[in-house]
Amino acid sequence: MARTNKTKYAILGFLSSGPKSGYDIKRESECCIGCFWHESYGSIYPMMKRLTAEGLVTRELDTEGGVHDRILYHMTEKGWAELKDWLRRPPDPPVLRDELLLKITFGRHGSFRDLAAHVNRCRIYCQDRLNTLERIEQRLHENQSTHPNFPLWLITVNMGRHRANAYLAWCEETLETLAELDNNHMKDTS
């Protein structure tokens, strides 16, 4: 079965809480779903044009935004129906593309020390990710605790935390294994 472009549903989801510009959607996506989903301006704006053509959103010029006029997008009834239909359907299985795992797969053609350095960078990234998730959760508690989506947002932050912790544990195990492999390799070549 062909995979569909989920950017459409991310945008409709953001518009479900009110009219937004493409910039607003990008900013909210970085803040709210950035730990598990990424949207670029290069995907948002063409999709907004497509959603408008499909009658799922409408556009209006907002001249009260200050120095620059903004285009605000609103969901139509058809857009609401599309979002609700998508929410009922089961999600596609996640697609994993992990360059680190690819490098480890073919790592015998390089050095174990290089692989260990890559894994160590991954460990640092995961620790940074945990710190970011902690800040996101704190902001949610401070600014969004009364929002109806608050408990759902916490669920997504919690998943990010579990993933980062699992990755950190994997990094520690892998660093030990790579050190052993490097020691054995050094013995074999001496």
d(CA 168, CA 171): 5
- Show the DSSP H helices in 57-111 as ranges: 77-88, 99-105
Q: What is the pLDDT of residue 190?
A: 63
Tokens of 153: 């947002």
> In Å, how far are 5, 73, 133, 145, 152 from 19, measured between CA atoms?
22, 5, 27, 21, 21
Q: What is the pLDDT of residue 63?
A: 72
Residue by residue, pLDDT tens for the chain (190 residues) are: 445 688 899 889 889 888 988 888 888 887 777 667 778 888 889 999 999 999 999 998 877 766 677 889 999 999 999 999 999 999 988 877 889 999 999 998 899 999 999 999 999 999 999 998 998 899 889 988 888 888 998 999 999 999 999 999 999 999 999 999 988 877 776 6
